[in-house]
Structures are given as structure tokens and as C-alpha cells.
Copies of this chain bind each other. A is one copy, B any other.
Amino acid sequence: MEKQEFDAFISKKGLKLTRERDEIVSEVLCCQGHFAPDELFVQLRSKGSKVSRASIYRTIPLLVESGLIAEVERTDKHAHYEKVSKNSHHDHMICTVCGRVIEFYSKPLERLQESLCKRENFKGVRHCLEIMGVCENCDG
């Protein structure tokens, strides 16, 4: 389903459809939640793929550009991504103590952003809101 869109994106850019890209896209599409590049690498290798770390790192920017994934947090000294699917938009609260991620969605928050954009004559396309703090488990 979404794989075809990525293939179309690749072809349209004059790039090539390779086994490595195919394996990476498939893995991303079937995996849930947030992931780091190296986790993707380990998962693919554990499934018998011969893909290299370099190809992972090369493919990720393409996945982002195609809209299939988005960078979500850079808490831990390395990047994290997640699958983008329609109607799944949410923002994040991230506990700086335990790393727990709370996903939340607020229609009023979205609408407020829209009106702020209108005020600046800015056409908002996407946004990333991360609230850093301490979750209830860690607040002693």
C-alpha cells in the first residue's frame, strides 16, 4: 500500500529500486512506534538481511523526504523516527528522567496553531511539538 508510494517517489527522482531499499521500507512499515537507525539495522540483520549500516543511513533521508517517516526526537544523542500515517498525528511529552514518551493529541492545540499561522500569513504544513519534563512515575 504505502510501499508503492515510496517506489513511485524513488522512480520519480530518477533513483533505483533496489533490494536493500525494499527491505528497509518493508521493515519500517511493519515496525511499530519509535525507532533509531541502528535498531533498524539490527532488526534487518536478525532477519537475514545483508543490508549495511551505510545503506540504512542513506535510505532514511529518502524515507523522510517521501513523507513515509518523520524524525520525532533527538533526546538520546541519536535520532529517532516514526512511521507517518494519515490521521495519526500526535505530539510528544518526553520524560528526561526515564525516557518515557507520552503521545497526545489536542484538537484545540491544533486549531490554535492554525490561527497563529494565519496571523503571520504562514501556510503551516506540519509541526513538531515536544514537551520535555518529568513524568508522574519519576516525579518524587
Cα distance, A132 to B79, chains bound together (Å): 15
Can you sample 12 A-B contacts with CB below 8 Å?
A: A93-B120, A104-B120, A116-B131, A117-B133, A122-B131, A122-B136, A123-B134, A123-B139, A125-B134, A126-B133, A127-B129, A127-B130
Q: Is A128 engaged at the interface, CB distance under 8 Å to the other chain?
A: yes
A-B pairs, 3 with minimum CB distance: A121-B136, A124-B133, A127-B131
Identical copies of this chain, number: 2
Picked from B102, B108, B125, B130, the residue with its CB within 8 Å of the CB of A122 is B102
Interface residues of A in 53-111 (CB under 8 A from B): 74, 93, 95-96, 102, 104, 106, 108-109
Q: Which residue of B lies closest to A124 (CB)?
A: B133
Q: Which residue of B lies closest to A96 (CB)?
A: B125
Picked from B112, B130, B131, the residue with its CB within 8 Å of the CB of A117 is B131
CB distance from A64 to the nearest CB of B (A): 9
Contact A124 B131 (CB under 8 A): yes
CB distance from A131 to the nearest CB of B (A): 4
Cα distance, A104 to B125, chains bound together (Å): 17
Given A93-B120, A96-B125, A139-B123, CB of A131 within 8 Å of CB of B104: no
